[in-house]
Each structure stands twice: as C-alpha cells, then as structure tokens.
C-alpha cells in the first residue's frame, strides 16, 4: 500500500465551477473531478435541466426527457397526464441497449413487458432497488433514474455524457443559455418554454397542439399564512441553512403554484423534495426535511413493514433474458445472453 506520510496535499484546493473535490480510496491526495449532471421533473409540470435552468411546461402526452443523441446508449421518455387542476408526469419509459423498463404509479415496474419485484438485477445491464420512498434504476452506463412512484423524476448522468444529450433536460454542456435547443437544433428564448418542450414531443402529434394552449407558471396568493408550507424552503431549521449555497426562489415559486392547484393536499412536497436533493448534493444535511415540513405521516411510517431483501426469482429473470435473446438474434453480431 502506498505510504502517504510524507505526501503534502493541497487541502484548500478550490475546484472550478462544475466540479468537486473528491478523495479517492488508495490515493494520498484528493482531486477535482467534474460533477455529474442532474435533471428533474417534479410537481405540477416543473423541470430543472442538467445545467440548472428551472422552467414550467404543462404539455400533455409523451416527451423525450433525456436521450444520448450521439451514441444512442440510453433514453428516458415521460408521459404527462392531466390530473384535476394540474399536469403531472405519470409514466416513465427507459431504454438501454435491448432492455425496456416501464415505471408507473405506485412503483409498478415492468422489464421487457414483465412485471418485476424489487430488488431486481440483470448482471451487467440494469439494477432496480427500492430505497425508502423512491425507486432507483441504475443502468450499465452508470445513468441513475430515481422515481417516487407519483410524479417526481430525477436522472443523474456521469460526466462522460457532456455535450451528448438532448431533450427536455437540455444538452449538459455547462451553458444554461442554450438549454432551450429545439429538436432541429435552433435555440429559442428563455421565455419560450412551450416551443422548446413541444419540439421534443414523441408519438401522437396531438400533444403539440395541446401544449400550445397552456399558460406559463401561475402565480397566486395563499390566503392562510399558516398553511403556506412553502415557507419551509426558507427555514433554516428544515433545510439547515442550504439557502446560503442554493437559491430557493424558483423552488419556492414552483411550490406556491402547486399549493394553489392543490390546496388541500401535499402537492408542495415534491418541490421541497427537489430542493432537498439539491441541498444534499451540496453537502448539506437535510435528512429530517420530511418530518419537519409535514411531508411524511410519522405514525404511518412507523407501522410500515420493512421491504423484503429477497432477490427476484431466477425463473422470472430467465423469462426476461429469453425475451432479450430473441431480440438480440435479430441483430447481427450479437451473442445470446446466458440464462444461468
């Protein structure tokens, strides 16, 4: 093992924007590495791109959330549905090589058409795990998709995908000014989210017509100040002073809009969830945000049974692999995947 006793490290190193200081196991000194890209969809049609732009778009139908537009290694599509007074992401379709994963409400998950239980794993291809209140899908490309079983979606990509992505999440090039790039390559104004997002419609063209009729983020006043749960975003107690590292204004406005459209529910919680995950990535301890913001029923959580750690049956995995092999046999140069 390498001795680090006489090694001098620059512990005050300031990493450039878009990177972070990481101490790698086996190395004496840490180094600056590029940040992963994180894109989110949350609440009533709110989106945050890889480069940090937050916008609102209430288009109905199926849209390309993010895709590797160069090598076509993976893609994530979303289906937006009208729900009473709001538009939310309700279904997710993930494609990675010959694997197709469908995520729906209440954590329903299908892999190549077969309903699966968690944890689920196909060695070298995909791993799906239930972590507390979210489902985490990890692809072989190290892309990680997080889904809360309702309408919160988060996609994290490694730095290798910089300048290779397209869709509602933008292109991941550290330049927020060109995030609104249409499918045909033209960049539109920051105020023209409808034209931008509509260009990434897939499937029926009707979703473009529907989205063109939608209005920007609606502002309203929450009459009862005691019911303004969005104020938790400004709370030092709940988010441990994260506002000193991350501006909460856009999350606060998104939260207020959701409270107006859903005055008697907990629709505001997804804006708080999006903000909390951003704070966590910045190193802020926000583990108790759900309890402190009333986004969790504590008594119900205590009664909840632990999630089983039993692996998905080999018989069912074999069934899925047979489907994959059938697809692979139609492509030249591909060898079948072993079933054991």
Question: Is the pLDDT reported for residue 42 higher than 50?
Answer: yes
- How far is it, in rounded angstroms, from Cα 154 to Cα 150? 12
Q: What average pLDDT does range 22-32 have in this prediction?
A: 82
Average pLDDT score, the chain = 83
Q: Residue 71 corresponds to which tokens in the numbers above?
A: 């090598």
Between 258 and 155, name the one with better pLDDT. 155
User: In angstroms, how far is CA 170 from the centroid of its own chain?
Assistant: 13
98, 336 in Cβ contact below 8 A?
no
Q: Tell me which residue of 75, 107, 103 sits closest to 91, measured CA to CA.
A: 103
Long-range pairs for 74-77: beta carbons < 8 A, 24 or more residues apart:
74/139, 74/141, 74/143, 76/145, 76/153, 76/155, 76/167, 77/202
Q: What average pLDDT does range 124-146 have in this prediction?
A: 96
Q: What average pLDDT does range 186-206 have in this prediction?
A: 88
Check the CA dihedral 58-134-97-110 and report its sign.
negative
Measured CA angle at 248 (ends 218, 285), to 5 deg: 140
Question: Is the pLDDT reported for residue 299 higher than 70?
Answer: no
Between 212 and 6, name the one with better pLDDT. 6
Question: Is the pLDDT reported for residue 78 higher than 50?
Answer: yes
- pLDDT grade, residue 62 (50/70/90)? very high
Instruction: Provide φ and ψ at 244, rounded to 5°.
Output: -75, -15
Give the model's pLDDT for residue 1.
Answer: 46
- pLDDT grade, residue 85 (50/70/90)? confident
Give the model's pLDDT for residue 264.
Answer: 62
Query: Which of 169-173, 188-192, 331-335 is the least confident region?
Result: 331-335
What is the DSSP annotation of 85-125? TEEEEEEEEEEETTEEEEE-GGG-EEETTEE--SSEEETTT
Give the model's pLDDT for residue 221.
Answer: 63
Q: What average pLDDT does range 67-90 have in this prediction?
A: 91
Question: Is the pLDDT reported for residue 295 higher than 50?
Answer: yes
Q: Is cis: bond before 126, omega within 30 of 0?
A: no
Q: Could you give the 3-state DSSP secondary structure of residue 234? A: helix
DSSP helix, strand, coil percent of the chain (3-state; round to 5): 25, 25, 50
Give the model's pLDDT for residue 49.
Answer: 98
Query: Which of 19-33, 54-68, 145-159, 316-330 is the least confident region?
Result: 316-330
Task: Report the top-level CATH class of 37-211.
Answer: alpha beta
Give the model's pLDDT for residue 319.
Answer: 67
Domain boundaries defined on the chain: 37-211, 225-294
Q: What is the DSSP letter of 206?
A: H
- pLDDT grade, residue 309 (50/70/90)? very low
User: Each residue of 226-277: pLDDT tens digit?
Assistant: 467 888 887 777 888 888 889 899 999 999 888 877 766 788 899 999 999 9
Query: Which of 165-179, 181-195, 201-215 is the least confident region?
Result: 201-215
Give the model's pLDDT for residue 223.
Answer: 56
What is the DSSP annotation of 178-190? G--B-TTS-B--T
310, 316 in Cβ contact below 8 A?
no
User: In angstroms, how far is CA 301 from the centroid of its own chain?
Assistant: 24
Percent of the chain with pLDDT over 90: 51
Give the model's pLDDT for residue 303.
Answer: 40
Q: Residue 284 corresponds to which tokens in the numbers above?
A: 């802020």
258, 222 in Cβ contact below 8 A?
no
- How far is it, in rounded angstroms, from Cα 63 to Cα 145? 16
Q: Which residue has the tokens 């909460």?
A: 248
Question: Is the pLDDT reported for residue 109 higher than 70?
Answer: yes
272, 295 in Cβ contact below 8 A?
yes
Give the model's pLDDT for residue 240.
Answer: 81
Q: What is the DSSP letter of 177?
A: G
Buried b (16+ CB within 10 A) or exposed e, 287-297: eebbebbebbe
- How far is it, in rounded angstroms, from Cα 183 to Cα 203? 14
Give the model's pLDDT for residue 219.
Answer: 56
- How far is it, in rounded angstroms, from Cα 166 to Cα 37? 13
Percent of the chain with pLDDT over 70: 79
């Amino acid at each position: 093992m390498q001795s680090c006793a006489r090694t001098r490290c620059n512990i005050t190193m300031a990493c450039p924007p878009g990177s972070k200081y990481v101490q790698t196991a086996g190395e004496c000194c840490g180094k600056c590495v590029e940040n992963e890209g994180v894109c989110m969809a949350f609440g009533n049609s709110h989106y945050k791109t890889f480069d940090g732009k937050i916008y609102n778009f209430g288009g109905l139908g199926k849209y390309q959330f993010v895709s590797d537009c160069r090598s076509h290694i993976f893609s994530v599509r979303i289906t937006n549905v009208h729900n009473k007074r709001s538009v939310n992401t309700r279904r997710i379709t993930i494609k990675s090589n010959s694997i197709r994963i469908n995520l729906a409400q209440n954590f329903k998950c299908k892999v190549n058409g077969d309903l699966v239980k968690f944890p689920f794993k196909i060695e070298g291809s995909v791993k799906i795990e239930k972590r507390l209140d979210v489902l985490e899908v990890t692809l072989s490309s190290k892309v990680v998709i997080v889904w809360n079983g309702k309408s919160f979606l988060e996609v994290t990509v490694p730095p290798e995908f910089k300048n290779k992505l397209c869709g509602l999440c933008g292109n991941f090039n550290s330049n927020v000014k060109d995030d609104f790039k249409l499918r045909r390559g033209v960049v539109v104004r920051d105020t023209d989210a409808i034209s931008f997002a509509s260009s990434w419609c897939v499937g029926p063209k009707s979703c473009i017509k529907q989205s063109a009729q939608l209005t920007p983020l609606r502002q309203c006043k929450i009459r009862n100040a005691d019911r303004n749960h969005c104020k938790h975003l400004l709370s030092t107690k709940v988010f441990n002073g994260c506002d000193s590292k991350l501006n909460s204004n856009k999350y606060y406005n998104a939260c207020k809009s959701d409270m107006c459209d859903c005055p008697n529910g907990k629709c505001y919680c997804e804006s708080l969830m999006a903000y909390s995950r951003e704070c966590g990535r910045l190193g802020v301890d926000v583990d108790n945000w759900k309890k402190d913001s009333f986004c969790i029923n504590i008594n119900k959580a205590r009664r909840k049974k632990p999630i089983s750690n039993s692996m998905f049956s080999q018989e069912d995995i074999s069934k899925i692999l047979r489907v994959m092999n059938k697809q692979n046999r139609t492509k030249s140069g591909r060898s079948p995947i072993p079933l054991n």
